[in-house]
Structure 1
Amino acid sequence: MREVLTQLNAVPGVVGSLVCGSGGELMVHAFPPLFDESIVRQASAAVADRNSGVRTAVGSFDLLDFRYNDGRIVVKPLSEAFLLLLCTRAINLQVLNISLNVAKGKLDALIAAATDQVFARPAVAQAPVAEAAAGILALPACHIADSTVGSSFEQLGMGALNQVTAQQVGNFYKTGAVKKLKLTSSANGISAIFPFMVVNENDAAYDGKIILCRAIEKKLKVGPGDLLMVEIP
């Protein structure tokens, strides 16, 4: 996907580009080094945020063009994601649109292939994932031990999702970036709402699982492997 973005960046007037999932998770970006990745991730989350108006608008428009004093932001809806480009004021939208239509076909195919690979992974296929009769997503709990990522949300008392799981939750509930989740233990019925963060954990062992800090495990009286009913509060 990065190669496709690099080709788009070659269009005169394009500064940088990114692809984000329907849940707001950053999938890939091609921005110059002066753009901090945290800013790129914030832009990613804003595009898919259901309160931003972009998700509503894309149902009626093939392309969104936001114009500012110093530049323009162009958003192209993909089948299961969004393509965003930061451009200069002088960008020729007609020329850009030709490249965007070509890029859309390539990116849709690459994203579909990547999704098929994710759900074909043994770690995900063996995980006890289920959907309740009431349309509630159920995922197993897990824990990250002895890692920088783990210690950061342990201190904050938060739960976490990796990018694959965040996209899974976002697709299931057709929502934007996940910031809070209501978790209910399927074993004991204990339920509570917790803040969540999306972490850049590339280990496939965390795909399709809810990563809990010790405080949440204690409150819900659950451990790794226990099934949780996951809802958007």
Structure 2
Amino acid sequence: MSELDAIPDVLTFPPAMTGEAVTEDPLEIAVMRAIQGCDAGLICYRVAADRVGAALVFAPEVPLADAMAMLPLCGVGLQNALGALAPPEVAVHLEWTGGVRVNGASCGGFHVVVSDADPDEVPLWLVIGFEMPLLDLADGGLTPDRTALYAEGCADVDLGQLVESWARHSLNWISRWDTEGTKPLHAEWRGLAHGIGEEITIQGRTGTFLGVDERFGMLLRDDERTHLIPLTVVLEDTP
């Protein structure tokens, strides 16, 4: 099956969103569309023979430090979507850096690109995209910490429906974030977070991952003190 053949018919998105099927990296295309001045709510998506991915364009109205909440929000949206479509025994958890865990193993994740990385400025656009492998092409014995959707019992999940459901759940959380603030999102994300209470190394620091602050900055406790690592450290360069 060619990648073009694998792209589903035009998907259905909520009124606030529009979709564009692409044959290249959805994140790269969404960033290009954002630079060209597309409307917020554009979702570029690709369903290939070996992976599924989508990217959503935002036009933030708050400084980047606050707008970064869209990363865990989109992660929660994906978990909610898989929770509705995948078999009940499939467990999905979220890494602080954007990674997605399925049944405990790494299974793709999210990437974030922004027009201006200054945390105190309101960016012109923010693009958040995810990609998940469908097939486990490596020897599972050699890479036991990595997996793919089909290897975890999700072979019957309709991938077009997955992208549509991600969009709907993410939009629902955006609405709640607008009207209720970050508290409900914090509560939902914390119940799905991977690694809280464990020792990790990030940004050259090693310590215990205690949780997050109101802006989803990581609270990392070492032998001397608790450090706050802003979520903006996960930003990537424009592709």
TM-score, with length taken from structure 1: 0.31
Larger-Rg structure = 1
Structure with the bigger percentage of helix:
1
